[in-house]
Amino acid sequence: MAKTKLMAMLTALLVTASGVATAQTSYKIGYLPSTVGQALTQAWRVGIENALKDKKNVTMQSLDAQMKAEIQVTMMDDFINQGYNAIILQPIDAAALTASVKKAESKGIPVITLNTDTMLPHAACVTMDDTGAGYMVAENVGKSLGGKGNVAILQSPPGAQAGVEREKGFRAALAKQYPNIKIVGAQNAQWNKDKGIEIMNSFLQVNKELDAVFAVNDNMAEGAMIAAESAGRLGQIKIWGFNGQKSTLALIEQGKITGTAYTNAYNQGGMAAKYAMDLLTGAKKKGAATEIIKVPPFAATKDTVAQIKAEDRW
């Protein structure tokens, strides 16, 4: 098994080395998420793998950037040096990865980014539209509160772009549509569940009237739920998460979490993989600008969560 894989890689390389790119029969695709240890990035990987399953001539390798932009850049270099044919990348930071993406593209390796776009044009960006989804969550929260109330935000670490975009969308919507909703607190819970509990506890202490909480990922939303439940205030507070991982959807069904901005991550990964294959096989030509492919967010609440099929839950 491993041997055949190695052989395939060797042939692929020999072919690349001989410079007959068009006659290429096998491809290597690299998948480089910000970290391998997240439900979302795992789901993307599964989506990519599924999309490539029936293509015998394609191998896929994923690497772990450990949430550090420096490491991700190194790994980009490695993919480039190893002559990968396409790279699916979730940039930890737009600015930090721009140079790497540019380098890959200049060597003829198309880069398809996930969720975070970089600053210079590349093949495509398959994005769940963080800002738009944040906006959508705020609209839902605003509607359910009747345009009035106190809201707190569980933030991502400062500088984590995805989280910031979500929060910006959320804030923009409130400012524009629900000026009477007050944001009473915003604290960094480091994407973590245990920090989510800790921060939520202090929100609950400071605000005797807290009507809704928006956590910029589901993990923190689940933490907020545990804290609110423990304080006996779960019924009074609407908790919104982001991403729509399986466990959160289950909690929405139980009525413990109000809702989340669900994206079909399997689908999203699949789309990225398909786009890469289309470019490699020549079915699609690369344009001058980055092609933005938006995966629409879906507001999963108790009423709508049933629409998400079991096989689409990640």
Which 21-60 positions form the footprint of other proteins (CB under 8 A)?
35-39, 42
**Residue of 25, 53, 70, 236 that binds other proteins (CB under 8 A):** 70
Token pair of 151, please? 């809201």
Shortest distance, position 39 Cβ to other proteins, whole Å: 5
**How many chain residues are in contact with other proteins, going by CB under 8 A?**
71
Q: Which is nearer to other proteins, 238 or 256 (CB)?
A: 256
Whichever of 13 and 293 has its CB closer to other proteins, that residue is 13
Compare residues 45 and 275 and give the one whose CB is closer to other proteins. Answer: 45
DSSP symbol at 311: G
Q: Which of 19, 158, 282, 309 binds other proteins (CB under 8 A)?
A: 158
Determine the interface stretch with other proteins among 63-71, 141-149, 275-283, 284-292 (rule: CB under 8 A).
63-71
d(CA 155, CA 168): 11
* Residue in 24, 26, 50, 119 binding other proteins, rule: CB under 8 A: 119
Choices 121-129, 134-142, 187-195, 294-302 (CB under 8 A): range interacting with other proteins: 187-195
Q: Of 26, 192, 284, 293, which lies in the binding site for other proteins, with binding defined by CB under 8 A?
A: 192
- Tell whether residue 243 is a contact of other proteins (CB under 8 A): no
Distance CA 69, CA 34 (A): 8
**Minimum distance from CB of 36 to other proteins (Å)?**
5
- What is the Cα Rg of the chain in Å? 21
Residue range at the interface with other proteins (CB under 8 A); choices 11-19, 142-150, 264-272, 298-306 = 11-19
Residues 259-288 that bind other proteins (CB under 8 A): none
Chain centre to alpha carbon of residue 117: 12
Q: Which uninterrupted H or E stretch holds 239?
A: strand 238-243
The helix/strand/coil state of 134 is: helix
Among 142, 150, 222, 295, binds other proteins (CB under 8 A): 222
Distance CA 161, CA 295 (A): 18
What CA–CA distance (Å, rounded) separates 242 from 257? 11
d(Cα 307, Cα 78) in Å, to the nearest integer?
Answer: 41
CB 220 within 8 A of CB 186: no
Question: Token digits for 75?
Answer: 């790994």
d(CA 68, CA 72): 6
* CB burial of residue 94 (10 Å; 0-12, 13-18, 19+): middle
Residue 38 CB, nearest distance to other proteins (Å)? 6
From residue 164 to residue 183, what is the string marking binding to other proteins with x (rule CB under 8 A)?
A: x--xx--x------------
